Amino acid sequence: MNSDDDTDWEPPSQAATDAAMSNAPPPLPTVHAAGAPAADGAAALPPLTEVLHDTENIRVWHNASGTKRAECNWCHKDFPCNATKLLFHLCGVRGKGIAICSGAIPTIHRQRYRDLLHKKESSKGKKNEARFALQEEIRLDQREIGSAIMKSRGLPEPAMPIMATPRANSAPTLPNATNSWGSNPFDQAETLNSLNEYNKRRPSIIDVDAPQTPFPSLKKHASFKSHFDKLPKKQRQTKIWQQASDPQACLEMDVAVADFVLSRMYDFALVEDEKFKHMLDIARRLPPSYKPPSAARIGGELLTTIYDVNWMKETKLLLKDAQIFGISMFGDGATIKGYPKINDVASSVNNSFAMLEVFDCTDHMANGGIKDAPYIAGLFVPLIKKLERMKDDFGNSYDGVVDLVYFDGAANVQKAGKILEMRFPRITSAAAAEHTTSLFFDDIFNKIDVYKLQCKLCKKLRNVFGGVRHATGAIFKTFSKKHNHGVTVGFIKPSECRMAGNLIAMLRVLRLKAPLQATVTSPEFKKLDMFVDLARVILNENVWTWLFMAARGVYAMMRILRLADQKSAAMGHLHYYIKQADRIAPLYLGHAEKHQDELAEEVMATIEDSTDLASVELDDDAEDDDDVVVVDDDEDDDLMEVDDDDETEENAEEDDGITAGHGLTAKVMRLWHHRAKGMNHDYALAGYLLCPNPTIMDHAKRNRTAQHDDAVKRLINKLIVPPHEVGESRDRIRAQLGLSFWREFTQFTTRTGVFADPDMWIIAEDPNVPPHEWWNTYGRIRTTVCGQLACLVLSKNLGIGSAERHWKLVKGAKAGQRARLGEEKTKKCALVHGVSMRQRSRHKEQKLKAAGKVWTDEDFESLKLDVHCKEIIEKTNALSKPSVRIFRCWEEEWEKAKIGPNGDAVFEARLVRKYAGIKWLDPDNKYRVCEAHPDNMHFDKKRGNNRYLIFATYHGFVIGKDLDDQLDKFDYWEKTQDFYDLVEEYYRDSKEVKVYLKGGECESESDDDE
């Protein structure tokens, strides 16, 4: 396979990888000498993320001409610095354009490289699979749109099945092709079916007698390429329209595409879009007389049809499994280009963002109307009814499928939610966690002096090191790259919008502490003789502790914002984090106050100074206001402020000792309690009790109150009791269902009865398994009430951020030359664009690439708190620590097995696994350090008593060297109690090897392996 085919190279299986690597020469003996690589028996090394990160064994440098090269310290050869080829070199894979390593790579390092190679090739394979799946989805969608257009014109719908059964003898013969790693990337029968149907649909003018390639998107695939390359050259080129091939056509097409993209100021990545590629595939089959659709047709018939098909597709995905998990609905108001609008978005476990409608309120308000509660509720009612009337595959309607509605804190929309509760008894109206938490952060950065000062400091640092001051910015970028594995991590511009932009900027500054301090202490920066006072602030550890404690105090609130921002089901975590905020904030905010008092006056003066050069913001990045996703209506803000003032008066009498006073802690907690009250709704309280996460379960057991029980009772009455039951009958059924719930809940919390299976609790600890999925798998079928309620509650996301971010799509649809686009067409264009974006994101492995995620978990790590708000004690990166080795310090039963006169290689390998690399002190040899041989035991052959002895080596022993030449460098030890006592003594205080004695808590390996 040449380098041009690397992008289509399928991922190898682990077995295939090992087989390919078996071509490498056997490793040379490892030398136990000072400075030599670690022996195979050493503790496991942390996994590599990039081969160049193994700086102990790979040295990167630049030669005299400036070319970047890399030297392998195992074989002492240097090559051009290509990470992929270096990995092939270290793994011993031949035929990849680089010589294999001839050095003595220990097994532990070799396996480390192999694991990295397998991970990378698997990732490449997943990307190819995702790309193929996206291509198939695009083709299906566009065929559905074409069928809809044919149907609207009264024409018969074309029969174009994707995977129809082929007619007899119609499929071309393909070899049972496999790629170079021995794995067939596609199911052969399915491929033949697809190929047959594809050939049947091609225009008759094509030479169908010649063997055809399969779908154009697959023709580079290894399975087909091997067959395609074997065809005669005359048969490789399909004959389309009988035109002679133009040798300049490829170049002309490249120029035409590039000119089109550049002239219209489109994104360069447009040509890599799968829909663009699919369009070119179709263009290959077009007749010369084809003319593209007119602008009127694109904005008319085609736009309407594509919109209708996409709306129905998104709605079907929304309703999938909705009878089990329910649907939440939320909306937001904004003014776009002078037009007042309200959107309606729905969310479920299978579709976190289904745009149902965008309402234009212009006519209503032109006639003297206002966006009051009855008007807003009246917009949502028809859509809820429309969803309920839709039918599933069995003809059943979705009655009561919407059970939760979210709005922001404005009084009019909150009242609209109450109206919807009255119209639809199953619905609960709640405040959106994302919006509410964002308002809290907006409060503290606008009302509390400490956070105002910290925000000012972050802006100063960004102005000096992250703006357009080229000298300081260039120096900082150099050190930022060094401290972040070759990736430049920059500042985030503090934002005045509600999505906690100032806090996110502060987190990023904390993450950049090391490169900032390295910058201001560098000779290059000192030579500038600028920003001396700011450099003193950067080098002041009290300043960083002050920032650290202030950010740590609001860590739990940040976690709520993060969960809501991810648009995933997280209802089981919401109330837990609210509780953690009440615990963490007073603890760390007090420390922040203390450290602020300890800051020197000149330091505070530098931070407070608004007239210095560092406060002058020079930014030529031209970040336009498109970065502001949500433009809230002024009317909504005014109403919300009135509502907030009323709530403040109501809450004044609830202040406790924490919120009393005028210190930092009291001010923050007053603002937090004011905002958090709306998030303690019934879904949050019930989800807290029903979350199977062990940490949250333990916390809920100790903090459960009547408030939680009452929330469960109300939800059972709304969601579980049949709606047609009334009066005394309803009361009786509600009581019986409540009794069943608490009986099942007791089994859940005690892990007994139907919840006694230990496997389900192993899965509950997995953070990648959502709580609602856990309940659907283990609890819904086994219980009558508890599982049903848990699936409905725990499957809900937390925020309305999707509705707020939707306005960016709407603004984009009316941007540039489309500024006068009609409101109906704007709505349709925004939906089509949004569906396309989510379609692409669903086929990406990295969720952080999804829209709206403005921070990463690395920014959280600077606060040294885990996802459950527990303190992380370790000061260093956990990945840099070797894993602890367990040694059973006695002769286990399996070691006493009878051995034949020729030994037992399998038995010896098991002994090596236990004893390799173990050390002890030899009291009979001046307490020299003994180390068990990493690869061998010594076979002691005696009649009736064949046995293996421990091959002990001393300092200076060379593996692979003739034993007769180093008789004083090794010895053989019997497995006696004296030997085990010496090992136990050697590792008594060790953190690398954990020694267990016989009869202790660690059982013999024979209990599992024999």
Concatenating the DSSP letter of every residue in 395-437 gives: S-B-TT-EEEEEE-S-HHHHHHHHHHHHHSTT-EEEE-HHHHH
- Calculate the CA 595 to chain-centre distance: 36
Q: Lowest-pLDDT range, 163-172, 253-262, 964-973? A: 163-172
Identify whether the C-beta of residue 292 lies closer than 8 Å to the C-beta of residue 369.
no
Looking at residues 658-681, what average pLDDT do you find? 85
Measured N-to-C along each axis, helices 501-511 and 449-465 cross at an angle, to the nearest 10 degrees, of 60
Q: Which helix (H) or strand (E) holds 463?
A: helix 449-465
Q: How many CB atoms lie within 10 A of CB 857?
A: 9
Coil, helix or strand for 488?
Answer: coil
Identify whether the C-beta of residue 521 lies closer than 8 Å to the C-beta of residue 532.
no
How confident is the model at residue 74, as a pLDDT? 92
The whole-angstrom separation of Cα 890 and Cα 915 is: 11
Looking at residues 794-801, what average pLDDT do you find? 86
How confident is the model at residue 861, as a pLDDT? 53
Confidence grade of residue 883 (pLDDT, cut at 50, 70, 90): low
Going by C-beta distance under 8 Å and a sequence separation of 6 or more, which residues neighbour residue 330?
345, 346, 347, 405, 406, 407, 432, 800, 802, 803
The whole-angstrom separation of Cα 324 and Cα 391 is: 15
Confidence grade of residue 35 (pLDDT, cut at 50, 70, 90): very low
Identify whether the C-beta of residue 673 lies closer than 8 Å to the C-beta of residue 651.
yes
Looking at residues 655-667, what average pLDDT do you find? 72
CA distances from 34 to 38, 323, 894, 955 (A): 10, 67, 36, 10
Coil, helix or strand for 60?
Answer: strand
- Calculate the CA 620 to chain-centre distance: 32
CA distances from 146 to 139, 163, 273, 838, 862 (A): 10, 18, 21, 22, 52
Q: What mean pLDDT is reported for the chain?
A: 77
Token duo for residue 169: 């003898």
Tokens 């080829």: give the residue: 85
Confidence grade of residue 629 (pLDDT, cut at 50, 70, 90): very low
Intra-chain end-to-end CA distance of the chain, in Å? 45
Q: In this model, does residue 855 exceed pLDDT 60? A: no
Q: In this model, does residue 323 exceed pLDDT 50? A: yes
How confident is the model at residue 38, as a pLDDT? 42
Triad 608, 611, 616: Cα angle to 5°: 105
How confident is the model at residue 246, as a pLDDT? 67
The whole-angstrom separation of Cα 835 and Cα 827 is: 12
Q: How many CB atoms lie within 10 A of CB 548?
A: 21
Half-sphere exposure of 111 (CA within 13 A, CB side): 10
Nearest to 466 by CA among 496, 489, 499: 489
- Calculate the CA 568 to chain-centre distance: 11
How confident is the model at residue 851, as a pLDDT? 32
Tokens 């602008």: give the residue: 295
CA distances from 94 to 11, 19, 281 (A): 16, 12, 36
Triad 526, 527, 528: Cα angle to 5°: 90
Q: In this model, does residue 160 exceed pLDDT 90? A: no
Question: Using CA of residue 948, residue 954, residue 957, residue 963, what is the dihedral sign?
Answer: negative
Coil, helix or strand for 973?
Answer: strand
How confident is the model at residue 659, as a pLDDT? 65
Q: In this model, does residue 473 exceed pLDDT 60? A: yes
Looking at residues 768-773, what average pLDDT do you find? 91
Identify whether the C-beta of residue 375 lies closer than 8 Å to the C-beta of residue 364.
yes
Q: Which helix (H) or strand (E) holds 128?
A: helix 107-152
Q: In this model, does residue 31 exceed pLDDT 50? A: no
Q: In this model, does residue 711 exceed pLDDT 90? A: yes
Q: In this model, does residue 623 exceed pLDDT 60? A: no
Predicted confidence (pLDDT) per residue in 39-63, tens digit = 444 456 788 888 888 888 898 888 8
Looking at residues 189-208, what average pLDDT do you find? 38
Question: Using CA of residue 212, residue 214, residue 220, residue 224, what is the dihedral sign?
Answer: negative
What's 522's DSSP letter? S
Half-sphere exposure of 707 (CA within 13 A, CB side): 14
Q: Lowest-pLDDT range, 182-186, 252-256, 355-359, 995-999? A: 182-186
Percent with pLDDT over 70 in the chain: 76
The whole-angstrom separation of Cα 884 and Cα 987 is: 12
The whole-angstrom separation of Cα 172 and Cα 179 is: 20
Predicted confidence (pLDDT) per residue in 205-244, tens digit = 333 333 333 333 334 444 444 444 544 444 444 444 444 5
Nearest to 144 by CA among 132, 167, 160: 160
Nearest to 972 by CA among 925, 946, 927, 939: 939
The whole-angstrom separation of Cα 924 and Cα 853 is: 65
- Calculate the CA 389 to chain-centre distance: 36
Q: Is 421 exposed, middle or buried (0-12, 13-18, 19+ CB in 10 A)?
A: middle
Q: In this model, does residue 680 exceed pLDDT 70? A: yes
Pairing type for strands 428-431 and 993-996 reads unpaired
Looking at residues 869-876, what average pLDDT do you find? 44
Pairing type for strands 58-62 and 68-72 reads antiparallel
The whole-angstrom separation of Cα 93 and Cα 101 is: 9
Triad 742, 748, 749: Cα angle to 5°: 90
The whole-angstrom separation of Cα 477 and Cα 490 is: 8
The whole-angstrom separation of Cα 610 and Cα 785 is: 61
The whole-angstrom separation of Cα 425 and Cα 428 is: 8
How confident is the model at residue 32, as a pLDDT? 33
Q: Lowest-pLDDT range, 610-619, 907-916, 945-954? A: 610-619
How confident is the model at residue 860, as a pLDDT? 52
The whole-angstrom separation of Cα 572 and Cα 890 is: 47
Token duo for residue 420: 């919807």
Predicted confidence (pLDDT) per residue in 484-520, tens digit = 878 888 888 865 545 678 888 888 899 899 999 999 9
Q: Which helix (H) or strand (E) holds 930?
A: strand 928-932
Q: In this model, does residue 7 exceed pLDDT 70? A: no
What's 28's DSSP letter? P
Coil, helix or strand for 285?
Answer: coil
For residues 484 and 861, which has the higher predicted lDDT (pLDDT)? 484
Looking at residues 188-216, what average pLDDT do you find? 38
How confident is the model at residue 648, as a pLDDT? 35
Identify whether the C-beta of residue 476 lies closer than 8 Å to the C-beta of residue 465.
yes
Q: Look up residue 986 and give its amino acid.
A: Y
Q: Is 51 exposed, middle or buried (0-12, 13-18, 19+ CB in 10 A)?
A: buried
How confident is the model at residue 767, as a pLDDT? 85
Percent with pLDDT over 90 in the chain: 23
How confident is the model at residue 697, as a pLDDT? 93
Q: In this model, does residue 578 exceed pLDDT 80? A: yes
Tokens 């083709």: give the residue: 139
Tokens 């403040």: give the residue: 648
Triad 320, 325, 328: Cα angle to 5°: 90
Strongest mean pLDDT among 184-193, 442-451, 701-710: 701-710
Identify whether the C-beta of residue 708 lies closer than 8 Å to the C-beta of residue 685.
yes
Residues in the chain: 1010
Token duo for residue 64: 């005299």
Predicted confidence (pLDDT) per residue in 952-983, tens digit = 999 888 888 888 889 889 999 999 999 999 99
For residues 137 and 918, which has the higher predicted lDDT (pLDDT)? 918
- Calculate the CA 260 to chain-centre distance: 35
Confidence grade of residue 16 (pLDDT, cut at 50, 70, 90): very low
Tokens 């060297």: give the residue: 961
Identify whether the C-beta of residue 890 lies closer than 8 Å to the C-beta of residue 1003.
no
Helices marked H in 862-976 — which ranges?
Answer: 905-915
Give the strand order in the sheet containing 68-72.
58-62, 68-72, 77-80
The whole-angstrom separation of Cα 593 and Cα 448 is: 12
Q: Which helix (H) or strand (E) holds 478?
A: helix 470-482
Identify whether the C-beta of residue 89 lies closer than 8 Å to the C-beta of residue 70.
no
Predicted confidence (pLDDT) per residue in 214-223, tens digit = 333 334 444 4
